[in-house]
Amino acid sequence: MHWNFVFLVVGRACHQSGFVLLIVALMHMIYVETSSALFMSLIPVTITSARFGSNLIAPLLFARFSLTTILIYATRTKVLLLVLVYICIFYDLLFSVYIIVFFISMMDAWFDPSSQALIPRIIAKEERVRANSTISLVSEGVEFICWALGGLLLAYVHAPFLFLLVVLNAIFTALSFSCLHQRTKGTFANDSTSKTWQTEIRRGFSVMVSSRWLSHAILASFLTSLASVVWIAAITYLFVEQVLMESESWWGFLNASLLVGLLFAGVMLRKLHSLFQKNQSKTVFIGLVGTAIVTFIFALTFEPAVALFIIACLGFFLQLEAVASHTLYQERIDIDVLPYVYAAEGAIAMFGFALGSLLVGLAANHIHLTYIYLISALLIVLASIVWFRAFRQEWRK
């Protein structure tokens, strides 16, 4: 059990670090070659569209292969695709990169629900809060370090060297899940019941519709995905420049402050895991309400030092909501359909994020950024109300 979790954590950490370094290297290469913000913006558009489509068809894989089989083939395929990206960059085949990135994002879309759905299969119920907080702590710490490391490496070495590191990360990810697969060959995602492909694709959505609490939870997830676009780099950078009246270095300070809040909440969840294990739905609600309040205060903030503290609080509440919601899903949803639900939720979240990005992009040129953040806070308030309606009867007992 212990080594299964170690392989899972190491594999996810390598996967996350590789993703960050890939984005850093790609954005740099595209900007150097084209000097075009449009071509740079096509990378997140490509990733989002690929992940949305792949989440929709992921149930076809869950119905036919074990979770670990999906993981090892997704990670091994990703290694080959990254080698192709390196070759395309070496020969200046820049536009071919977009096609390959699309397929890489497909592998990532199958990786996420498969790895998340493994947790209740290898971790005891009473240890899942601690397990989820550990995974979150490691992944977010690695992600933050890699954003900084990617920038430093670009300053001292060329982007092709960074791509080699990305390929190495992908190899380590594949090795970790190959080891996990050898130890858990019987970990299947399906109940071995023969169904049509149309039924399989709809399966996650059918589970959502049939469960009152889950349908409310997914609606809350969609609303938070819409609201979360205000924290993407471009919007936050504009807020720092136009509202806080500070240099671009403060964007980095805000990221560091967010990480402090995330890590603090992660440590607290690990220490008090038995308490949070008994109050998962309430913890999600506290996280949502806290996120809404903090976003509202941030929208009205003009002092950079105050903004740093607020962002740390944001990280704290985001971590509470994320860890508790994952644990709740893993305990209340049957393990045979859990990957289907994760895939369906991923598709809905991708749609919400894409829609939110489009709306914010259109609105940013016409209304003040403060109002955009206030709208985001309102959306999270709505998500909190939806969550409350889902569990209020349960909390009264």
Which of the residues in the chain have pLDDT under 70? Answer: 1, 36-38, 41, 185-195, 197, 233-234, 248-249, 397
**Domains observed in the chain:** 1-190 (1.20.1250.20), 191-397 (1.20.1250.20)
d(CA 293, CA 43): 32
- Confirm if 60 and 197 have CB atoms less than 8 A apart: yes
Distances from the Cα of 250 to the Cα of 115, 238, 303, angstroms: 34, 11, 12
d(CA 107, CA 30): 22
The set of residues, in sequence order, having a beta carbon less than 8 Å from that of 111 and lying 6+ positions away, is 15, 70, 71, 74, 75
Which H/E stretch holds residue 95? Answer: helix 94-122
CA atoms within 13 A on the CB side of 110: 28
Which H/E stretch holds residue 328? Answer: helix 304-332
CA atoms within 13 A on the CB side of 164: 8
The tokens describing 292, both together, are 């809404």
The set of residues, in sequence order, having a beta carbon less than 8 Å from that of 34 and lying 6+ positions away, is 40, 94
d(CA 173, CA 22): 14
238: left (phi over 0), alpha (psi -120 to 50) or beta: alpha
d(CA 319, CA 114): 21
Q: What is the pLDDT of residue 189?
A: 47
d(CA 43, CA 191): 37
CA-CA-CA-CA torsion sign (291, 297, 300, 301): negative
The tokens describing 173, both together, are 């990810």
| Residue carrying structure tokens 């919400």 | 352
Nearest to 224 by CA among 303, 343, 105, 320: 320
For the beta carbon of residue 106, count every other beta carbon within 10 angstroms.
22
Q: What is the DSSP secondary-structure string of 256-277?
A: HHHHHHHHHHHHHHHHTHHHHH
Q: What is the pLDDT of residue 397?
A: 64
- Confirm if 115 and 71 have CB atoms less than 8 A apart: yes
**Length of the chain as a residue count:** 397
| Residue carrying structure tokens 């913006």 | 41
